[in-house]
Amino acid sequence: MNIRRARPEDAADITDMIHGLAEFERAPEQCTVTEKQILTALFADSPTIFGHVAEVDGEIAAMALWFLSFSTWDGVAGIYLEDLFVRNRFRRRGLARALLAELAAECVDGGYTRLSWAVLNWNSKAIALYDGVGAQPQREWTTYRLSGPPLAELAGPR
C-alpha cells in the first residue's frame, strides 16, 4: 500500500470512484461530475479541492478528497473531508484508516486544529471505523444544504 497526493493522471480513477461513491450512497443519478471538472478542481492554479489516493500494487484503490475549512473560534484552518472511498475489491485492508491517518498528519504538519467530515446515518461500517479512530460525532449540529431551484430562488434574479 502506498498513500500519496493525487496527480493529474489519477483524474480518471478519481472520477470513477466519485461515481462509485454516488452509487454506494444510492444516488447515482445525482452525480454528474466529469473527469475534466476533477482535473480543474484538483490541479488549477488555485485548486478548490485536494486529494490523496491509496495504491495497491500500482493500482488506485481508494481516495480521499478534501478542502480547507476555517474555525473562526480557533482562528486556524482545518481539513474538511468531502469524500472517502475504497473500491469494493480493496475493502477491509485498512486503506480508509490509512487515508484518515494521512489527513491527520496533514493537519498536524499544517498546524490545523481539526479534521471534519459527515457520514450517512446508515453507513454502519464507516461509523465503526470513525469511532475506532477516536472521532466524535457532532450530534448537536444538523447539516443543511441549499441547492438546485431553491438555491436559485434565494439568490433572486441575476
Q: How does residue 69 score in pLDDT terms, banded at 50, 70 and 90?
A: very high
Provide the residue range defining the domain that includes 42. Answer: 2-155
Angle between helices 124-132 and 95-110 (to 10 degrees): 50
- Domain count for the chain, please give it: 1
- Please, which pLDDT band fits residue 119 given cuts at 50, 70 and 90? very high
Total H helices, total E strands in the chain = 5, 5
Mean of all residue pLDDT scores within the chain? 96
Q: What is the pLDDT of residue 79?
A: 97
* Spatial contact of 96 and 119, defined as CB atoms under 8 Å apart: no
pTM above 0.85, yes or no: yes
Rounded mean pLDDT, 80-109: 97
The CATH code of the domain that includes 8 is 3.40.630.30
